[in-house]
Every structure is written in structure tokens, then in C-alpha cells.
Amino acid sequence: MQGRRILLIVGGGIAAYKACELVRVLGRQGASVTCVLTDGGAQFVTAMTLAALSGNPVHTSLWDAGLEAGIGHIQLSRSADLVVVCPATADLLAKMAAGLADDLATTLLLATDTPVLAVPAMNVRMWQHPATQRNLGWLREQGVTVMEPDKGPMACGEFGPGRLPEPERIAQAIGTLLADPLAHQPDFAIADHRPLYGRHILVTAGPTHERIDPVRFIANRSSGKQGFAIAAAAAAAGARVTLIAGPVTLPTPPGVERDDVESAAQMQAAVLAALPADAAIMVAAVADWRPASASEAKLGKGALTGGGIPLAENPDILADLARHPQRPRLLVGFAAETGDPRDSGAAKRLRKGADWIVANDISGDVMGGAVNQVHLISAAGTESWDRLPKEEVARRLIARVAEALTETSEDHD
């Protein structure tokens, strides 16, 4: 973040107070923050507060004679490495989608070729309204990165999605965008830079928890890190990404739509509800078995050890998706083994009906660790990659996905 220039547009919502803390967090990380305060935002925070925290002048009006003498609204955005709209209210998002330019904030957004991150915050019903979701979809298609809001209680007394994420998480999303070369291209809609533009990519990640009783469950050690990295790479490549996440505590990658689930059955339902998709990348470590019936009361030690817990087989999400009428054009599964996974991965590809299997040896610190070594298995054979950071594995895999989808589109044409 050191030396990076952030242009922060503060919208008119109660969450504007968190923008002040965001300025402090970014400043501590070495970024230079210049603020644009909308009329609505000025109802909640003051220009003096933002100026004191950022150490830079705060801009509030399109009609600043000194600023506009140098076409200031264009220079404000073009001199920044990233434009951040926080909070992005329903009104601001609607104006962005419609191309309106009736104040300084919307004018510079219309004039910019700098990457834009929108961080929405609003009432849950406003967030869920079809007009807002339509605007968000269009903005994402144009290359605007939209950070999903948090769920929880709101100032209006309602509960649900619409809370502004905490400033530390927003700063993390900003750092991710600044570190990703794909986020710095002048035109987000150019296929060479955003090869998955217009595609829908479905990703599953993390473990599943299969309930035994109110305090116990069957699970595994999957951290979700590889799946989340793949979702982030797909979003950076321009895709609309649906991430179905098991029980993990990882932050949602910028520009990714996230659906949290717990059990294998819930994950299967969420996957089917997300169709159609151009590609599905099934990274989640789904439990093979679940208790045949979960107890509503905590079981005693004897019930767990006496005759064991009767088990029932979980749905095979990958195999079921391969047979589904809306099967994605590219279906990618993962195979985790201890030891060389290539033979078992190749057999799994045929057994499940997947196009590709990404096989890896989970010996050591792979589950929860920062690096991974994988083998990409397809009908053409096996391609082994070096041991790499999980983010680099994700970027390479998404590059191959983009190539494959382009080839199938050309074949169809």
C-alpha cells in the first residue's frame, strides 16, 4: 500500500462514519487518501474530519473555480491508483449505472478510466430490491468491483445483508485490487485484460459440517483458502463469480457473490440454485457421509461409543452436476490425496464425469497452508505444476479456464 493513491468518495449513509476509520487504516498502511465528500455524506461526517485524518484537502463541489480551471474532476480520478466509493448508497449505485453526472462524485466516476471499487451499505430491503441488484449486475459487467456487504443488525433496526464491512476488511480488498495487475488495465471490458468478462463462474470452497447433535459434527480440515483464491482470480479476470462457501472465516474476495452453507445437502442446493454457469470449479472438501439422523439434544458419551453413529451417504455434488441438464460447459473437480494423486485423480475424472480434475498431495501443511502443488488432469493427459502460492495456482487455473471457454465458444460458433 506504500505510496499508493486512493480517491475515496464518501456517500450519504450512516455508514459514512466508518469511512473516517478507513482513511486512518489506509494512512497507517502508507497510502495517500484524497476524499470527495458528497452532499449526503456531509450530513454524517464533516470535510474537516476527513481532511484532518487524511492530511489532504477534501473536495465537495463540482463548482470549485480553482479546481475546475484544470479540469479538476478528471484529474482527481486519473491521478489515483484506485477510486473507492464507500459507502456506496443505493442512490450512488443507481447514478453510476445510469451514467448520471450531477455532482462532483458522479462526474468524476463518469470521466475516470481508473479502476473502481464500490463498497455498498444500505437497508436490507434496498439491497435486495430488483433495481439495486440490476444496477449491481450491470456495474460488475462494466468492470466495477463490488464488495459484498456484511449481514447483521442495522441502524434502522432491521437485520440482513447491507452492513458496511469493517474498515480493515475494506482495506484488505483495496490492497488485493492494487496488487493484482488485472485491476490496473485502463479498460475493464477488453477481453485481453478481462478474459472472463461476461462469464459466470461457480466456485465451491471449504469443508462441510455434518451435524451429529447441537455441539458435535463431522468435518475436515479444509481451510477454503484455495477455493477463495480461485474465486478472487476469476473475479479479477472479469467473471461474475458465485462462491458457495462452507464454514470458514475468510473474508469475501472483492467482486464475488458469496453464499454461506454448512452441510453437503445445503451446498448441493446452493450449487443447483446458482445455475446456469459457464464453468463450475468444485474445490470444496465435501463430507462423504453424514449421521443418518441428527439429535436435537446433546448425546451422551455412551451414545457415541456404544454402537457407533449410523451414517448415510451424502450427495455426490460433482457427479450430480455432471449429469444435470444445465451442466456447465467446463466442469472442474478437485482430488486431495496423501501421496501421489495422479492415478486416483485420473480415475476420479472418469468416474465423476468431470472435464478436469485438479489433484494434489495434502501431506504436510497444504490444508490451511499458503502453498500448493497440483496436477491438472484432463482427457489430454496430466500437467504437473510446481509448488506455488495458492494465489498463483488460482491465477494459472483461471487462465486455463478462460482459454478453454474461449475455445468451446469458437467451436460452437
d(CA 51, CA 47): 6
The candidate with the shortest Cα–Cα distance to 6, out of 249, 22, 21, is 22
Q: Cα 79 to the chain's mean position, in Å?
A: 27
Which residues are within 8 A (CB) of 410 and not within 5 positions of it... i.e. 6 or more apart?
none
283's enclosing H/E stretch is none
d(CA 199, CA 207): 26
Residue 375 β-bridge partners? 359, 384
d(CA 8, CA 22): 9
d(CA 67, CA 36): 13
Which residues are within 8 A (CB) of 291 and not within 5 positions of it... i.e. 6 or more apart?
210, 211, 212, 218, 309, 310, 311, 312
20 given a catalytic annotation: no
Supply the DSSP symbol for 238: T
Q: Specify the residue for cell string 484529474.
A: 75
What's the full length of the chain, in residues? 413
Which residues are within 8 A (CB) of 117 and not within 5 positions of it... i.e. 6 or more apart?
82, 83, 84, 85, 86, 144, 145, 146, 147, 173, 174, 177, 254
261's enclosing H/E stretch is none
The candidate with the shortest Cα–Cα distance to 85, out of 177, 147, 166, 142, is 147
Q: Cα 116 to the chain's mean position, in Å?
A: 15
Which residues are within 8 A (CB) of 364 and not within 5 positions of it... i.e. 6 or more apart?
none
Q: Name the residues annotated as catalytic.
A: 156
